[in-house]
Amino acid sequence: MTPRSVQCGSLQLLAANDFVAVERCSCGSIHIAVGGITAHVTDEGLGALASALGEAHTNLQHIYRSLEQSLGIRFEGSES
């Protein structure tokens, strides 16, 4: 089930999957709902969060690849 943010105004769904929902609120903020937690950020905050998450994902994949090569195993969730 897709998370739903706490509504403080009318919401426009920007993106969603089984883990997260991102909505633009009429109050001017972006609501990011993950599980039972909703964060309210600015447009700039959304961009900064997306950038940081992308960087974290890339770094995690590098860690997985390094461990897989040194240990000769494959991690679940690794994209190598």
Walk along the chain (80 residues) and give the pLDDT tens digit of each residue: 456 655 678 999 999 999 999 999 999 999 999 998 999 999 999 999 999 999 999 999 999 889 888 888 887 766 75
Residue corresponding to tokens 């860690």: 63
Residues 6+ apart with CB under 8 A from 13: 21, 22, 23
CA dist 38 and 30 (Å) reads: 10
Alpha helices in the chain (DSSP H): 43-71
Structure letter (DSSP) for residue 13: E
pTM of the model: 0.74
CA dist 5 and 15 (Å) reads: 12
